[in-house]
Structure 1
Amino acid sequence: MIELLQNTFYSDIPITRAMNLQVLKYDGMSLTLRSPLVPNRNDKGTAFGGSLYSTAVLAGWGLLFLMTKERHIQADIMIHESHTRFMRPVNGDIEATCVFNSEEQIDRALRLFSRKGLARFHLNTTVTADDNQAMLFEGSYAIAR
């Protein structure tokens, strides 16, 4: 599944190739992505805020992509709303981890999706730097037929 997501990023979302975005791990409930610092740095030599944001958005999008593929669900995935808090500079590679809140969150949303063809997922993505939280991204995503 990781390879499918990596290929989808590079073929369908071209900026991911320029960012050199890499899918690191997926366990069914969480997804971790990495964007290396060098192609994502700013004028201060730290990670560019736009790259941090993009990596976080893509972590949520990717988590939903894999969840729908595993369940053989055809759906469009889109970001609906978000809030981002930057807490400290990222001096190395960007690592973003997005996590489902619970299996119940997934089941509840998919029941709604099967009835109405639309469901929302509220997901949190954390970016860490030196084992400290550097950015928190709260995103509301929609899946739709």
Structure 2
Amino acid sequence: MEVNPQELIAILQDKIALYEHLGITVAEISASRVRFKVSLEKNRNHKGTAFGGSLYASGVLAAYALALAGLKAHQIPTENIVIAKGEIQYLRPVDTDFEVVSEFRSAQEQEDFFKTLNATGRVRGMIRTQILGEGGSLKASLLGDFVVKL
């Protein structure tokens, strides 16, 4: 089933207070990929680069949106999504507006994630998020361990 991007954006705006403050524009949102464009100006630190906490928060939010889009696509009636653990690697300073791209590590992991949730009412799985600068250069990488319950 196709997901309605406007419905998902409305959920993010309504349920995640931080969303409005990060300067996010949703460029793509589907059950297989989420891509945000994020304003450096809204996330600038004292060095003129993106604040590490903002990079982490926008990465977690993109992964949350990916899980949410998958739930809607699979017609699973829950929004009970939390991050259990997140590990981020800051590779290079982010000194421009940036993109946040979130995907499951593989199509098989994505399929297993929702199949397990349907079968057991609970699932825990990994979602990969990349922070990209101008020209698609990798600036940071986040691996989030997410739990979803019915």
TM-score over 0.5 (shorter chain): yes
Contact 2:31–2:67 (Cα < 8 Å) also in 1: no
- 120-129 or 99-108, which moves further after superposition? 99-108
Alignment match, 1:73? 76
Number of residue pairs matched by the alignment: 145
Residue in structure 2 matching 1:55, options 50, 55, 58? 58
Moved over 4 A (4+): none
Rounded Cα–Cα distance in structure 2 between residues aligned with 1:5 and 1:111: 21
Alignment match, 1:143? 148
Task: Kindly provide the amino acid, as one letter, of the partner of residue 105 in structure 2.
Answer: N
Rounded Cα–Cα distance in structure 2 between residues aligned with 1:110 and 1:120: 10
Rounded Cα–Cα distance in structure 1 between residues aligned with 2:95 and 2:21: 19
Contact 2:27–2:35 (Cα < 8 Å) also in 1: yes
- 58-67 or 91-100, which moves further after superposition? 91-100
Task: Specify the SS of the correspondent of 2:146.
Answer: strand
Alignment match, 1:83? 87
Rounded Cα–Cα distance in structure 1 between residues aligned with 2:67 and 2:128: 12
Unmatched 5+ stretches in structure 2: none
User: TM (normalized to structure 1)?
Assistant: 0.93
Alignment match, 1:41? 44
Aligned positions of 1:1-145 closer than 5 A = 1-75=4-78, 76-130=80-134, 131-145=136-150
For residue 27 of structure 1, report the CA deviation from its aligned partner.
4.4
